[in-house]
Structure 1
Amino acid sequence: MTIAIPTLDGQVSAHFGKTRDFTLFSISDDRQVTGTRTVINPVHDHNQLGDMLKQNGVDLVICGGMGQGARDKLAAVGILVLGGVTGDIHQVVSSYLDGILQPTGTGQCNCGGHHHA
């Protein structure tokens, strides 16, 4: 399994589509982190992010806020989303793997002022 987290200064980025970097965590069958790598967001386009993440083997995105359009695009390529999450990315992944991660909200983008494709 591969988990992607939009990242800003080691924290879960508040806005999925505007993040500069995604941190990808490789997870073994026994739910251990076996590696991490950073992928730069080259597109800043909700329509293309799903394809880019899928090409990088991502199965799950853990994020802060995300518009419905982006959620739909990820679902269309088979990527699950856990939104409304904040905090240090390493602690977030540990909490998810331990089964205790609880989203803090809906994960919907409430930033206004722009259109989500």
Structure 2
Amino acid sequence: MKVAVTYEKETGNVFQHFGKTQFFKIYQIEDGKIIASEVTDNGGNGHHALPPFLKSLGVDVLILGNRGQGAIDAIAAAGLKEMPGITGSADKAAELFARGELKPDFEAKCTHHGEHHDK
């Protein structure tokens, strides 16, 4: 299974604004363990184009911080399972997910829409 985490390269943490994600850390998980990982850029995509891009990479699950309703819809339309509301270390989040212990917060939403979503 492939799991993508919105990734902040400077800190190694889960990036909190899905539509502005520049990087993803993609983990290959088998039998409850991470067997490989790599950091990739966003392919030049933003907002609604990110979920289909991730699906094209073979991603099954997306771990992320906050997202707006448009992203929620795009993630679902791409057939990705989402684990929103996650903060802290991307590696730790992936480890928890691999063990079945990651707890999503489906109430985690971007609350500033309209300020800069004109693209």
TM-score (norm 2): 0.87
| Same amino acid, percent of matched pairs | 34
Q: Please report how far the alpha carbon of residue 107 of structure 1 lies from its aligned counterpart in structure 2 after TM superposition.
A: 2.2
1 CA distance for matches of 2:112 and 2:50? 19
Equivalent residue number for residue 14 of structure 1: 16
Paired letter, 2:49: Q
3-state SS, counterpart of residue 88 of structure 2 = coil
Give, in whole Å, the separation in 2 of the partners of 1:40 and 1:50: 13
SS at match of 1:95: helix
Q: What corresponds to 1:5 in structure 2?
A: 5
CA RMSD of aligned residues (A): 1.8
Specify every segment of 5 or more residues in structure 2 that has no aligned partner in the other structure, as ranges.
none
Q: Could you say what secondary structure the match of 1:3 adopts?
A: strand
Match of 1:73 in 2: 74
Is residue 111 from structure 1 mapped to residue 109 from structure 2 by the alignment? Answer: no
Matched residues, number: 116
Taking the aligned partners of 1:76 and 1:107, their CA distance within structure 2 comes to: 19
1:1-117 mapped onto 2 (5 Å cutoff): 1-8=1-8, 9-28=11-30, 30-104=31-105, 106-112=107-113, 113-115=115-117
- Partner deviation per Cα, 1:61-83 (whole Å, 9 max, x = no partner): 01000111111112112111110
Q: TM-score, normalised by structure 1?
A: 0.88
